[in-house]
Amino acid sequence: MCGFVCLWKVEDAGGSLIETMLSRLGHRGPDATQVARPAGVPLAMGHCRLAIIGAEDGIQPIAVDSEILVANGEIYNHGDLRAILDPDIFQTTSDSETILHLFRSGAQRWINRLDGMFAFVLATPDRIVAARDPLGIKPLYMARRGEGLAFASELKAFDGLGFDDITALPPGGLFDSSNGSRQWYRVPSGAAAAEPGLDIEAVAGELRLTLEEAVAKWMVADVEVGSFLSGGLDSSVIAAIAQKVRLAAGQTPLKTFAVGTAGSSDLQAARRVADHIGSDHHEYSFSARDIAENLSHVIYHLESADADLVRSAVPTLFAARLARGHVKAVLTGEGADELFAGYAYHHAYAEDPRALADELTRSLGAMHNINLQRVDRMTMAESLEARTPFLDQELIAFAQSIPAALKLRCTDPNALESTGPTTEKWLLRKACADLLPADLVWRKKAQFDEGSGTVDALQQALRLIIGGEGKITRLREEALYREILRERFEDPEMILSQAGQWNANRVAA
């Protein structure tokens, strides 16, 4: 996991511009920093590296002949691609080098062969190409300066430096200076009602196999990979499968990490899951004062003042800080709610599976500047790589083929396999029921900021910052977040204009 900056046909006498931009991304990659200015190419590329794969020889930018690359993320099928492309042409053991050789192969749809989470910029003497993974797990922004182009991993790299038309490259998007932009990936449309005679047990079994393959794939690394563990279904399932993967490989138990206020339900549930799966568990209890002291740090790195996003970013930061003391990479449960109908508002769709399927498809496409932005920025703020196996391409394709009526299901509230009159993520729970105690599998969902105790602690923290007594209204809370953001950035309106909102464009509330 890394951060990078690229300047194409942008004047940078003395190199101060790219050095300034790259210095703002140092938290993304503390292991190595490198700047390249190839002779005869109107280009400067800078990269700060968090070494996960190819730790010894994977320093970037990577150059082959007159072509050069910077990349952020992980290519999980890099071993297969090496074998196909010819292992002898590779200079490093870095997974990122496969991007460069795929491009050089000349295949028309070369980017579709990449399996993973990534953002990259690739340059030749007369052309520059930039692209992003299917869901936008990894960030990539593009801007203009005069006749030139600039690319960076975070918005703060551009702040106050005279760039125009700053925008995020869309998920599954590719920009090519020679022929413009194209959308190389689109989220497959979700299925709605179950066809007559559908074998639900078989579908659940296949889902389980697909999920297990995704977790194993997303654990590939040259460093130890741990797991966030909130005690909720998503992170618990991921942790349970990951523990099996490690033990089957003869490795030490999985390291799991949980945070919350003292006595919070998330901490208690996480302990039970950790005991059940036998993980090496670590936890941290944060206070209102901890939140108050870190709120400015959260908002600066989050690059958003959206209240819902900030609330969920607070515990994510503490979890990342805890985990970084033990590992360099963690698994997270992001994507399960969007794939399997896990949010409270989804219950309004119980009688309309077609509308639910459409909403799940839409929300998957909108994750990049909401929850995925939160996870990326908060973990990278602590130099930690976050991995999201629920967003594996094969798992997405299979999950979208599952009827929405099996994801959010009308159920008997008194039945074992239910969380109420309508049960969210019903098929996912059924597919993974043997991994965890029944009362945890069918536990009613709580949002991370609620289950962790963040909501109440945040109210206390806001009173510490603002002063006074009584409840801080949402309007005042949002105003404070914007005030903090404006204090931290020279061009705050640029940052605010790019920020997503959790409820943006929702089909129904």
123-141 b/e (C-beta count within 10 Å ≥ 16 → b): bbeeebbbbbbbbbbbbbb
Q: Is 95 annotated as a binding residue?
A: yes
CA atoms 31, 37, 41, 42: torsion sign = positive
Contact 277, 237 (CB under 8 A): no
Residue 452 structure tokens:
């962790």
Type and span of the H or E element at 177: none
- Tell me the CB-side half-sphere exposure of residue 491, using CA atoms within 13 A: 15
Please list, in sequence order, all residues whose beta carbon lies within 8 angstroms of the beta carbon of residue 484, skipping any fewer than 6 positions away: 295, 296, 299, 305
Residue with tokens 């536990």: 443
Nearest-angstrom CA–CA distance, 255 and 281: 6
Active site residue 2: yes
Nearest to 458 by CA among 466, 363, 380: 466
In DSSP terms, which residues pair with 130 in a beta bridge?
A: 121, 175
Please list, in sequence order, all residues whose beta carbon lies within 8 angstroms of the beta carbon of residue 429, skipping any fewer than 6 positions away: 233, 417, 423, 441, 442
Tell me the residue type at 404: A
Residue 426 structure tokens:
């019903």
Q: Is 259 annotated as a binding residue?
A: yes
460-492 b/e (C-beta count within 10 Å ≥ 16 → b): ebbbeeeeeeeebeeeebeebbeebbbebbebb
Phi (first) and psi of residue 18, to 5 degrees: -65, -35
Q: How far is CA 440 from CA 234, 254, 269, 315, 433, in A?
A: 11, 19, 8, 21, 9
Distinct helix (H) and strand (E) counts, the chain: 18, 19
In DSSP terms, which residues pair with 260 in a beta bridge?
A: 285
Candidate list 2, 6, 48, 432, residue with the active-site label: 2
Binding-site residues, in ranges, read 95, 259
Binding-site residues for ATP, in ranges, read 259
Binding-site residues for L-glutamine, in ranges, read 95
Catalytically annotated residues: 2
